[in-house]
């Protein structure tokens, strides 16, 4: 495996960062998780836009243009001969001293990892996920904004660990007001009376790229009304269908939440249709990685 760090490709064992990097010392940095399907990078522009907005949010000046980051991403995928991939882009504050002062970090570092994707087993798409509400709240927008995809994921990791210990797949995090925000690494939707509901960005969530694509598919292809509204867990319990969206998960039904069976306990017809439409869309759209002649088999 070849890994990109600051303009050079390294073998996996040689891909290293300094112990003085503030990304390591303080979680001072940002990231993106991106997927490539069938030789195309999915929603690359949207991920780059979010990366640059996250950078702005943490006062991190990026010494590269969007095109340069895009080139680094595409080069790394090509160097690994991948057509389907999970791509992790990490930008750290760079090397500084042991203090908090970001001015000591003279240059941000760019890391790109392109790997095969570790998918949820197909059985999970058929059966649906079990979710539990975490005791931890999503960081509120007046703290570290949840719309910034920062390297501080400990809150989400601890929430996910609660789910794991409860024998569930994913954790739901509420916002500081007790409304449903999102899962530890996915956005959440529910269906009632033919309408889809999902929490608004301002209520304290990451504005998921998959979320936005699913909202467009639901509105434009399925003619569904999609409402961004705040709601509580009870609305999920009594929903007809619930599903989560994310780059890793794509779209997966949630069939049990806090011990309550959702709908008839299997992913519903709308969820199944969105899964199919999303997969078809993801397989056709995106930034081409290879010219036809150079594509790996």
CB atoms inside a 10 Å sphere around CB 201: 17
Closest CB 150 distance from ligand PXG, rounded Å = 10
Nearer to ligand PXG, 28 or 186 (CB): 186
Active site residues: 149
Cα–Cα distance between 110 and 259 in angstroms, integer? 42
Of 289, 296, 27, 266, the closest CA to residue 126 belongs to 266
- Does position 206 interact with ligand PXG (CB under 6 A)? The reply is yes
Q: Are 114 and 289 in contact (CB under 8 A)?
A: no
Closest CB 128 distance from ligand PXG, rounded Å = 17
Closest CB 9 distance from ligand PXG, rounded Å = 23
**CA dihedral sign, ordered 82, 184, 43, 215:** positive
Nearer to ligand PXG, 95 or 175 (CB): 175
Closest CB 94 distance from ligand PXG, rounded Å = 22
* Part of the chain binding ligand PXG (CB under 6 A), chosen from 56-64, 203-211, 223-231, 271-279: 203-211
- Does position 170 interact with ligand PXG (CB under 6 A)? The reply is no
- Does position 198 interact with ligand PXG (CB under 6 A)? The reply is no
Nearer to ligand PXG, 246 or 263 (CB): 246
Nearer to ligand PXG, 281 or 290 (CB): 281
Closest CB 106 distance from ligand PXG, rounded Å = 28
In the set 27, 33, 57, 141, which binds ligand PXG (CB under 6 A)?
33
3-state SS record for 247-296? CCCEEEEEEEECCEECCCCCCCHHHHHHHHHHHHHHHHCCEECCCHHHCC
Footprint on residues 52-91 left by ligand PXG (CB under 6 A): none
Residues linked to residue 225 through DSSP beta bridges, in sequence order: 195
Residue 212 has, within 13 A of its CA and on its CB side, a CA count of 11
Q: How many residues bind ligand PXG (CB under 6 A)?
A: 15
* Part of the chain binding ligand PXG (CB under 6 A), chosen from 22-30, 62-70, 185-193, 278-286: 185-193
Chain centroid, CA 150 distance in Å: 12
- Does position 23 interact with ligand PXG (CB under 6 A)? The reply is no
- Does position 209 interact with ligand PXG (CB under 6 A)? The reply is yes
Footprint on residues 228-267 left by ligand PXG (CB under 6 A): 245-248
Residues present in the chain in total: 297
- Does position 210 interact with ligand PXG (CB under 6 A)? The reply is yes
Cα–Cα distance between 54 and 82 in angstroms, integer? 27
Cα–Cα distance between 238 and 164 in angstroms, integer? 24
- Does position 172 interact with ligand PXG (CB under 6 A)? The reply is no
Alpha helices in 21-153 (DSSP H): 22-26, 44-57, 66-79, 122-127
* Footprint of ligand PXG (CB under 6 A): 33, 156, 182, 185-187, 206, 208-211, 245-248
């Amino acid at each position: 495996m070849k890994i990109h760090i600051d303009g050079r490709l390294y073998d996996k064992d040689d891909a290293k960062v300094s112990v003085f990097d503030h990304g390591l010392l303080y979680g001072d940095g940002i990231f993106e998780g991106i997927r490539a399907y069938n030789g195309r990078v999915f929603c690359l522009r949207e991920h780059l836009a979010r990366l640059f907005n996250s950078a702005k949010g943490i006062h991190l000046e990026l010494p590269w243009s969007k095109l340069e980051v895009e080139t680094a991403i595409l080069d790394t995928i090509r160097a690994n001969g991948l057509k389907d991939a999970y791509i992790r882009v990490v930008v750290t504050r760079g090397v500084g001293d042991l203090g908090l002062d970001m001015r000591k970090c003279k240059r941000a570092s760019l890391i790109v990892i392109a790997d095969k994707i570790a998918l949820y087993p197909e059985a999970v798409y058929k059966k649906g996920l079990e979710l539990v509400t975490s005791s931890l709240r999503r960081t509120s927008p007046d703290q570290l904004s949840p719309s910034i995809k920062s390297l501080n994921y400990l809150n989400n990791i601890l929430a996910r660990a609660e789910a794991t210990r409860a024998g569930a797949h994913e954790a739901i995090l509420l916002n500081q007001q007790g409304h449903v925000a999102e899962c530890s690494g996915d956005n959440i939707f529910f269906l009632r009376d033919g309408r889809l509901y999902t929490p608004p960005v301002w209520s304290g969530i990451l504005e998921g790229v998959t979320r936005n694509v699913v909202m467009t598919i639901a509105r434009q292809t399925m003619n569904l009304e999609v409402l961004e509204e705040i709601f509580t867990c009870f609305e999920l319990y009594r929903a007809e269908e619930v599903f989560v969206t994310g780059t890793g998960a794509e779209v997966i039904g949630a069939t049990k939440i806090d011990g309550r069976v959702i709908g008839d306990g299997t992913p519903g017809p709308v969820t199944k249709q969105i899964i199919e439409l999303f997969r078809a869309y993801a397989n056709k759209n995106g930034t081409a990685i290879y010219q036809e002649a150079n594509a790996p088999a």
